[in-house]
Structure 1
Amino acid sequence: MKKNTKARSYVGKEVFIGIDVHKKTYTVVARFEEEVVKKWTTKASPQSLAQQLLKYFDGATIYSAYEAGFSGFVLHRELEAHGIQNIVVNAAGIEVAVNNRVKTDKRDALKLATLLEAKRLKGIRIPSEEEEAHRLLSRTRKQLVGDCTSVKNKIRMKFHQFGLIDADETREMTHKLVTETLANSPSKELAIVITAYWSVWKKFRRRNQEN
């Protein structure tokens, strides 16, 4: 019997794509009419993946999904720009079978594609690029404030460790206080350590003021 080698047509049909995102690669699984029709791994290039999907499933309405995480929304925006209907989902909201908790890249991508096809995935709200930039600035400022506090607490602990301040000392670790306390340092090594911490604190503070 002659084997049918005619290529499958996706024109006017719906294809569902699950994407497991990693730093260097994307693992992709495609489902069509309740069966897996393609699995592959490609470099983590949003534009390249979008072009692949349009090439492999020419003429189809393409739906895709990936988990929210470190990769942000660049991939989402690129897929949408190419006419691919993508959602980003919260990992905590993805169904996990009791007897199927082993995670692999292909299994995770398959799960996303399967649930997407079954309409059992809900996307999170995607911030605008302006909102994302503002959020980055706000979070960075908060992190820098936390870093400043952490460094000052380390200085305070060192001073207390060597008996230079009382355990219940509550004064702010200002430049004046640090300088005066260092004048009574019992060793040059401690002075070097505190000076290094204080230098770091000043850098954090300057960056915080710039932001």
Structure 2
Amino acid sequence: MFSERTSVGLDVHARSVVASALDVESGQLRRQRLTPNVDDLRRWLAALPAPAAVTYEAGPTGFGLARTLTTAGSGVWWRRRRNCKRPAGDRVKTDARDAEHLARLPRMDQIVPVRVPSADEEAARDLVRAREDVRGDLMRTRHRLSKLLLRQGIVWSGGAAWTGRHELWLREQHFDRAGLQLAFDIDFEALLLASARRDRLDKAIEAMATDSQFTPVVRRLCCLRGVSTLTGFALAVEVGDWGRFTGSSTTFPC
């Protein structure tokens, strides 16, 4: 149930923030275009009738705005949309209208609170996602290299691929045509670099999984059959608060 005096909607972009503030008692609607500077936004919010509830979508701009204003003690609530649809016939979409729409959503009970991850949690998530990106790059590089060789009628048959023996075999491949040789060298170099990046990230994840705030959760997850340290760490940092699934305040179901 919405009980604040002012409902604020922010349409946040990388270079601008369009704000709308709806005074619940008077019905007055204020609009303002601000810079992404948090100090400017905080001063504008401080001039509004308190208390205020703020709604914005943490898309590519992330949760930094929420953490900064909450740490500053501005008394702001952070929420996300849930199945919010515009009224039929409302096809005009501008930053100002989006901000106003976000400001009105809490009063219609179409907003649910969202847990804002800490900076450490987001850093750990970035590490896991970087590893996943590198894994995809490595898979695509392997695919290109193997298909380049296949077009030349060269197929590895010495056991499992992408092992130490396979790498030695790849190093022995040479071609008479300069263009083909250069293409092979570029793909093979990309394979080695992607493998090295993956190994660096694996070591960093292993170290963080062993000694960090996520260690207790990772150890419990790894007790499950088939859950490796990498998988357990990824689950721990992406889920964050396991109590969300049970409605309790525990961080992990015991």
Q: Is the 8 A contact 1:76 1:88 kept in 2?
A: no
Aligned-CA RMSD value: 2.4
What SS does structure 1 have at the residue aligned with 2:112? coil
State how 1:141-156 maps to structure 2 within 5 Å. 141-156=131-146
* Alignment correspondent of 1:74: 64
**Match for residue 79 of structure 2 among 69, 78, 88:** 88
Percent of residue pairs identical: 23
Q: Aligned in 2, Cα 1:204/1:196: closer, same or farther, shift over 3 Å?
A: same
* Alignment correspondent of 1:42: 34
Residue 201 of structure 1: how far off its partner (Å): 2.3
Cα distance in 2 for residues equivalent to 1:206 and 1:103: 46
Structure 2 unaligned regions, length at least 5: 202-254
Residue 163 of structure 1: how far off its partner (Å): 2.8
Cα distance in 2 for residues equivalent to 1:100 and 1:204: 48
Corresponding letter in the other structure for 2:106: L
**Match for residue 20 of structure 1 among 6, 11, 25:** 11
Cα distance in 2 for residues equivalent to 1:48 and 1:177: 61
Corresponding letter in the other structure for 1:146: G
Instruction: Give a deviation string over 1:155-192, Cα, whole Å, max 9, x none.
Output: 112122233338xx973374223222x32x25211211
Corresponding letter in the other structure for 1:79: L
**Match for residue 53 of structure 1 among 33, 45, 50:** 45
Cα distance in 2 for residues equivalent to 1:52 and 1:37: 14
What TM-score, normalized to structure 1?
0.80
Corresponding letter in the other structure for 2:179: E
Residue 203 of structure 1: how far off its partner (Å): 2.0
Q: Aligned in 2, Cα 1:149/1:43: closer, same or farther, shift over 3 Å?
A: same
Q: Which has the higher contact order (CA 8 A, sep 6+)?
A: 1
Q: Aligned in 2, Cα 1:126/1:89: closer, same or farther, shift over 3 Å?
A: same
Corresponding letter in the other structure for 2:34: T
Cα distance in 2 for residues equivalent to 1:38 and 1:188: 67
* Alignment correspondent of 2:216: none
Q: Aligned in 2, Cα 1:170/1:208: closer, same or farther, shift over 3 Å?
A: closer
What SS does structure 2 have at the residue aligned with 1:35? coil
Q: Is the 8 A contact 1:29 1:39 kept in 2?
A: yes
**Match for residue 130 of structure 2 among 107, 121, 140:** 140
* Alignment correspondent of 2:191: 201
Runs of 4+ in 1 over 4 A off after TM superposition: none
- Rg comparison, structure with higher value: 1
Cα distance in 1 for residues equivalent to 2:43 and 2:194: 42
Residue 202 of structure 1: how far off its partner (Å): 2.0
Number of equivalences: 192
State how 1:61-210 maps to structure 2 within 5 Å. 61-82=51-72, 83-90=74-81, 93-165=83-155, 171-172=161-162, 174-180=166-172, 182-183=173-174, 185-210=175-200
What TM-score, normalized to structure 2?
0.67
Residue 36 of structure 1: how far off its partner (Å): 4.4
Structure 1 unaligned regions, length at least 5: 1-12
Q: Aligned in 2, Cα 1:143/1:30: closer, same or farther, shift over 3 Å?
A: same
Q: Aligned in 2, Cα 1:98/1:178: closer, same or farther, shift over 3 Å?
A: farther
